[in-house]
Amino acid sequence: MSKITQEKTKRLELAGLNKQPDRVPITSQIETFAYGYAGTTIAEVNKNPLKGVAAFKKCYEDIYFDAFFEPIFVHPFGFFDGLGADSYFASDDGVTAQHAEIAPMNGTEEEYKALIENPTKFFLDVINPRKFPNLNGAETDQRKAIVDAMKGAAGFLVGMGGGGMGLPILTDTPSFMGGFIEMPYDNLFDFLRGFKGSSVDMRRHPELVLEATDAIYETYTKECEKIYSFLNALSDPPRMAKNAYNVFIKGGNPECTRFPWFFNPTHAPSFMNQQQFEKFYWPTYKKTLELVTSFGGQTCTLLEGEWGPEKLELFKELEPGTVILYVENDDICEVKKQVGDYQAVMGGLPISLLKSGTKKECIEHTMKVFDACAPGGGFIYTTDKSLLSTEDCNPDNYKAVNEFAHVYGQY
């Protein structure tokens, strides 16, 4: 690890722990913007993962960042394509990644009870055949679908692993993602019932929804987090081997570090009122965050949409310095004021301003946010949303803002 990478890593570690580093860290959330910026597409990267590495490398060389989120991919497109699912797909520009809502669970009392009794069996026997059309054909077609999906998954893993290990060396920029979390209620919301179904189920049979999220946490979330924890040790092979022994041989838990962080997008909370959030979402959400803390890890949780002060107040129940609150539509200055003594905050740069504002307006906004959020540390600067295409921002504005922030953010 180069001296520059070590400095950036230390910067992120301290800020994530709600402490004051040498300067405000700046992270990227550029996703498939990188493909358009480098002149490639999702389809081309699926065929040759090295094109993805090259695309992100160009971004990190042209625009200043202290850390990056994704090595080259956001979603395993090839895996889902092989199974015939359109869960994730590219828009007409070939660059912007999109996600289709799929609700393969019908929400009857019988299906909820089957999910609660054995989530793994329910997923394999009921959900997967509905979600993946290519598994419903003749035996030879099913075998081909599995082979194609495995090829897609292999390309995804090669790209993630190669980019995750290669980009820090090639660009002196570490990755801040060391694991991934899908919260139990979001799992139900995203992959089983969808927006409409989930909204109805909370009212139609609330106790079954609560039992289902508990069952998902116990049999799916806990085990998945043990597997995702291997990303935390991607640059530390001895620790990765030790975790493999602890998890797969001893049946125990992995040993993680606070940085890089586990990343957690949240989808349902902004559509829930406070009572619904506290009843259906927060209990298993809190348990999952505390599970990662018990591993020794730390979570960067993306507060998608607008959460509001009542929901944010609950983060004071967690051990201080264990979660980074990545703010999207809430006022980050108000969030910092409310919970900044407990948890670090991240965000503050609207992509709408990067797209349509002038350099002067972007820099003036950055000064305002830094003046409010930077004192005392515990603040990380990044865009409020992911950049998915070159239309999402003016690259010249982005370069100017990050160069200014790197200097202005010095403590």
Reported as a single tens digit per residue, the pLDDT across 363-375 is: 999 999 999 999 9
Cβ-contact 159, 72 below 8 angstroms: yes
Q: What is the mean pLDDT of residues 153-182?
A: 80
| 3-state class (DSSP) for residue 316 | helix
The secondary structure of residue 300, as a DSSP letter, is: E
- CA dihedral sign of residues 11, 327, 392, 399: negative
pLDDT at 73 over 70: no
Convert the pLDDT of each residue in 37-67 to its tens digit.
999 998 888 888 888 889 999 999 999 999 9
Task: Give the model's pLDDT for residue 52.
Answer: 85
pTM score, two decimals? 0.92
Which residues, at least 6 apart from 146, have a Cβ–Cβ distance to it below 8 Å? Answer: 82, 135
Query: What letter would DSSP give residue 204?
Result: H
320: left (phi over 0), alpha (psi -120 to 50) or beta: beta
Model pLDDT, residue 74 = 65
User: How is domain 3-408 classified at the CATH fold level?
Assistant: TIM Barrel (3.20.20)
Domain boundaries, given as residue ranges, for the chain: 3-408
Are the C-beta atoms of 68 and 28 separated by less than 8 Å?
yes
pLDDT, mean over the chain: 90
**Can you give the pLDDT at residue 228?**
85
Q: Write the pLDDT tens digit of every residue in 88-140.
A: 777 888 887 777 777 899 989 999 999 999 998 999 899 988 888 888 878 78
Give per-residue pLDDT as tens, 228-267: 888 888 778 888 899 888 998 998 999 999 999 999 999 9
